[in-house]
Amino acid sequence: MTKVEDTRSTTASHLKGRSGLTKRIIPCLDIRDGRTVKGVNFENIRDAGDPVELGRLYASQGADELVFLDITATIEKRKTLSDLVNHIAHQINIPFKVGGGILSAEDVSGLLQNGADKISVNTAAFKDPSLINLLAKQFGSQCVVLAIDTKMEADGEWYVYLNGGRVKTQAKCYDWARQAVDLGAGEILLTSMNHDGTKQGFALDITKHLSTALPVPVIASGCCGTM
């Protein structure tokens, strides 16, 4: 069985009184070709085990939620793996989010029908922000999670990256997060590319900026190493 530390760990950072939720521990599994994969700074990707097996393990260990991200769905211009989502839904008993390759309300409907509790959008939402508003109106803001892959550059600014970290934009992380929340995103999944897979701790500055300035939960992702 794959060790727990072989996948990304995440934690939701927000105040209980603001949203009615307490802190949550949320393992995040990146999936490629139906397998969980692990990398460092979005590079040197290696196999890390079966996502269903890992999902069951995390659920048994007390995880509050799970995130499954199909990291190559957008690049390969295909949909998220609905069959895998259905399999996961029949194997675990905690809520889970699914992302990767979501382009329309029909895509979301299919994933929810197969057992997902929430969906995550990233590149498609950046290219067409109206998608966020459409999905929020049809499925509710609580269902729509905006995933942001961000990297601090030499100028000290955090920039948004697309296509699994392959394409840099000129958009600032906070500005995009603020716009998405205004459009209806109910949660932010924030991954620091500088910290991803290093197990050296979260990007506390940008996480604090978003979690204190935005009225939605923020999930810090990608770099947890110790208690």
Q: Which residues are catalytic?
A: 30, 149
54 vs 36: CA distance, rounded Å: 8
Q: Residue 113: what are its φ and ψ, rounded to 5°?
A: -65, -25
- Which amino acid is it at 200? Q
Give the residue among 154, 110, 147 at the shortest CA–CA distance from 125.
147
Q: How far apart are CA 107 and CA 101, in angstroms?
A: 9
Question: Which token pair is 126?
Answer: 């950046």
The full DSSP string for 14-72 is: --HHHHS---EE--EEEEETTEEEEEETTEEEEEEE-HHHHHHHHHHTT-S-EEEEETT
